[in-house]
Structure 1
């Protein structure tokens, strides 16, 4: 009796499972990421299965790399037999089959750009088939050749020191790898060169004069390559000290030469200056002869003064002497 009661329950469960499986919306997308060269057309495949033909709704949306699905932006809608493109990709987005009947809901995106890299969501809703979310995710990478990288250097560029050369491209998908080469000869020792192809850095250790020269960095990926060059000049510090000493000696000699020239010219100018000289016969009237005392000089001046002040007295004395003789 118990077995008879259990059989109807099992039958009802199996019937319910069959019915539910027919009401599920199934969306199928490629499991592998999709890549398309820049400027080309990308076709994002999306197929679906459903048991209901009315109230069919299809939505395509886009989310940037590194962001959650909840931050997606709509690209287009299809509902009630009409297609409604929207968003920044509206002019380049369309359905591969319009209307999306027969289980094909693939998206076509023309003239792809680097900003088109991200995750695309294909979602199908077809009430009353609500038993699955009907969502498929497709990762698209737009392939871009690397642009011309920027070369730079840092470190001590003297003999025995270390220097780092860096190379980086702002564009390129997939991310480019970097390779450094030394142009010309002689080539530095491989032991003194360590490069990282991912970061684009070249480390030069134990620098020597042969490390000088031009270095070229090549950034490449499957879409192409680009390069930049930088010149490294390694100096010898001992030669610098010798050069500094030599310059100091030359400056000292120059200063001494200028000082000697100025002194010689001064001596010449001094010899050209005339001096006052007196001949043996050019005696001053008021000069005092050697050996004559100051008192004698004063008497002579006094007598001379009397003679100059008393001309009439001398005349009278002469006249009186003449009268006496008569």
Structure 2
């Protein structure tokens, strides 16, 4: 069908004739438009659909056959496999036979209780309905229409379903020792959330009054880093995890204390003190012995009477 136009374009390019090239391109585009209107077309209006977990998702599919009347139409909805090595999973297939106008729907066992097909052959619609969607339903879906003798057009289109999830209640934790002059981090993370949640820390003093985070602190991806801490950092901290669905939060209390002494350091200090005392006692003992010796020697040199 396109051969004469390709030949025309080829010779136009060889001759470098702009007018002929433009005319050839126009005719080619006209052929393309006409061929598309005379062939099967399948269309899903949007590239992506979003739905909240637990709700129902409706994926529309519109098709227009080459002929107004067709004896057999097969419409299939498929879910793209999670792995490239696996084949697509067929969710449901509709078989429509014109004479005597009988149709049958074959739904896979995995989707039998959740998937339905709302279709109208006359209107050219075959919309997939997925009930009670779950995170595993986030994937690419394909609508394919097969009509015997109508194979030159666009037989399939695809779209992506994104299942949205509110952030789960985040977990708050303190990393490091909450002691004077130490550097610590307050961490916050939600195990679930689609789209990926963003995190923000807010702080309150011991009187429960809001306050800004310390000037040298950083709040990045749910981690609030505090440097060279002191009692001024003590207080109440709240982390809020948010996405387009809603938000959740966690909190913790920070109490900055004086450095603690561990068992080893305490034992070392006690041992040192004992050693000093022993030395002092030894010195005193030696001094006392020396005095007694000197006193005795003096008495022998100067006897009475």
Q: Which TM-score applies when normalising by structure 2? A: 0.65
Instruction: After superposition, give the CA deviation of every residue in 1:19-64 in whole Å (9 maximum; x if it has no partner).
Output: 8545522111123421122222221111011124223111101136
Q: Does the C-alpha gap of structure 1 residues 162 and 30 become closer, same or farther in structure 2, counting only changes over 3 Å?
A: farther
State the match for 1:111 in structure 2. 132
State the match for 1:62 in structure 2. 79
**SS at structure 1 position matched to 2:125:** coil
**SS at structure 1 position matched to 2:242:** strand
1:213 to 220, 235, 248: 235
State the match for 2:112 in structure 1. 90
Tell me, yes or no, if the aligned pair for 1:23 and 1:128 is still in contact at 8 Å: no
Question: What is the 5 A alignment of 1:305-316?
Answer: none
Q: Which TM-score applies when normalising by structure 1? A: 0.62
1:191 to 198, 201, 215: 215
For 1:101 and 1:190, locate their aligned partners in 2 and report how far apart those are by CA, in whole Å: 67
For 1:220 and 1:189, locate their aligned partners in 2 and report how far apart those are by CA, in whole Å: 19
Q: Which structure: greater helix fraction? A: 1
Tell me, yes or no, if the aligned pair for 1:116 and 1:141 is still in contact at 8 Å: yes
Tell me, yes or no, if the aligned pair for 2:206 and 2:236 is still in contact at 8 Å: no
1:155 to 172, 176, 183: 176
Structure 2 regions of 5+ residues with no counterpart? 9-26, 97-102, 275-305
Tell me, yes or no, if the aligned pair for 1:75 and 1:86 is still in contact at 8 Å: yes
Q: Does the C-alpha gap of structure 1 residues 126 and 213 become closer, same or farther in structure 2, counting only changes over 3 Å?
A: same
> Structure 1 residue 248: deviation in Å?
5.3
Structure 1 vs Structure 2 CA RMSD:
3.7
Equivalent pairs counted in the alignment come to 237
Q: Does 1:122 find its partner at 2:139?
A: no
Structure 1 regions of 5+ residues with no counterpart? 1-5, 253-326
For 2:174 and 2:128, locate their aligned partners in 1 and report how far apart those are by CA, in whole Å: 47
Instruction: After superposition, give the CA deviation of every residue in 1:53-99 in whole Å (9 maximum; x if it has no partner).
Output: 223111101136x75596431110112421111142221111122x5
